[in-house]
Every structure is written in C-alpha cells, then in structure tokens.
Amino acid sequence: MNETVSDPVFCPFTQMIKPVLHSLCWVLAACAICSLLTTNGADGAKTVLETQASNELLDAIAREFPRSTIVQPSDIDPVNCGQIKAHPGLGEGDFNGDGRNDYAVLLKGRVKGEKEWQGKVLQLMEVDFVIFLREANGQLRSLRIEHLENYYPFTAGIAIVKPGLIRESPVVGDRTVRLLHPGILMYLCGRSAAVFYWDRNTNSFDSITTID
C-alpha cells in the first residue's frame, strides 16, 4: 500500500477558474491553520502552547546547533499571524512509525542583516526546521529539513498534523497523501504552508503543499 495516492483529473476550465481556486485556497488554508493553532485546554489539560522541551532535546540542539534556540510563541508576529495557542517551534510524535518518540523544532539562529520598516528596525535571522528522530539506541539523530531567513518577529512556525488524508492545494496540483503517522505543518503566515511526512517507500521525509 502506497502512502501517496495521485489520480490526475483533466479539467478544460482549469486556467479560467484558477484565480477563484487560489482565493478559495487561501481562505480554506487559513481556516485549517487556525484550527491547528488554536487548540485549548478548557478541560484543565495543558495546552500545546505550554509544551516544554526535554533536557535531552535541549542537549542535542546545543550540541548540533550551538548558536540556535527554539522559536517561542513570543517570537511570532502577532500582526500577521494573530494569536496562536499551539507552540510554533516545538512538537513531538512518532513521525516515522518506529514506535519511538521524535521531535520537530523550529530554531532561530544568527542575525543576517537589518532593515528599517515603518520606523522600526527589523532583524533578518536564520531559521532552521529540524526533525530529531530517535534511534534504536535511544540517541537523537537530527535531520535539517528546511533552512530559511525570516524577519523578526517571525511569520514562520510549525504544528503537528494528525494522521489522515491531506490534499494538495488545487493551485499546485491534485495530489493526495494519506498520513500513516503524525506529520508536521510548516507555515509562513498569510503566504504558504506544507505538510512534511515520512514516506516509508523512500525512508525519508517528503512534503505536500497545502497553500500556494
């Protein structure tokens, strides 16, 4: 059984309706992201926002990315991203289905430059999306998935996606992926998003664009 299912359907009106689909995609995607980022703890349980990094993860980050730290909720731009309730820089789950707990982190690194905007000085910083997979010996192995530069406060974040069917943005294509294990959504508020998931056929992470 393949994790990725693709069944292209030809539509002669694709170019005509593409702008409409693009707008609709923005709305639906924004709603989807909001649902992921606004989980609450009304039942008394700790919200995802309160997730704390374990000492072993912090040690692994300090060892492999010594100049970087985990992006915190206070690092996110409230104007472009609104109020978030899910931790934008930390998530955990069994991403590759081996029965062991893994970590996904968004790390902020060095300042690359500055610019003035509306009377403020904005810092351009390095940002890394990294997944730490737990090996059979219990050690954490890092995989740097994405490297980008983002102005502070950031518009980039991550969130955990539950197993299930993920559909590609219709502006990009018509691919569908069934997640057998939790995936990780990486988003740029108001711009783009993609779900990263473990492909058991290649034993590596792949991605599917959910916003264009």
Dihedral pair phi/psi, residue 201, rounded to 5°: -75, -35
Q: What three-state secondary structure class fits 28?
A: helix
Peptide bond into 163 cis (omega under 30): no
Q: Taking the model in full, what pTM does it have?
A: 0.79
Q: What is the C-alpha radius of gyration for the chain, rounded to an integer number of angstroms?
A: 18
Question: 96, 124, 98: which is closest to 112 by C-alpha?
Answer: 124
Look up residue 29 and give its two tokens: 């995607």
Dihedral pair phi/psi, residue 138, rounded to 5°: 90, -10
Question: 183, 127, 181, 174: which is closest to 154 by C-alpha?
Answer: 127
Q: Are strands 4-5 and 90-93 parallel, antiparallel or unpaired?
A: unpaired
The full set of domain ranges for the chain reads 32-211
CA atoms within 13 A on the CB side of 81: 28
- Rounded to 5°, the CA angle 56-58-59 comes to 65
Q: What is the mean pLDDT of residues 170-184?
A: 95
Which of 1-10, 108-117, 176-185 shows the lowest mean pLDDT across its residues?
1-10
pLDDT tens track for 77-113 = 999 999 887 899 999 999 999 999 999 999 999 999 9
Q: Which of the two residues, 34 and 172, has the higher pLDDT score? A: 172
pLDDT of amino acid 164:
96
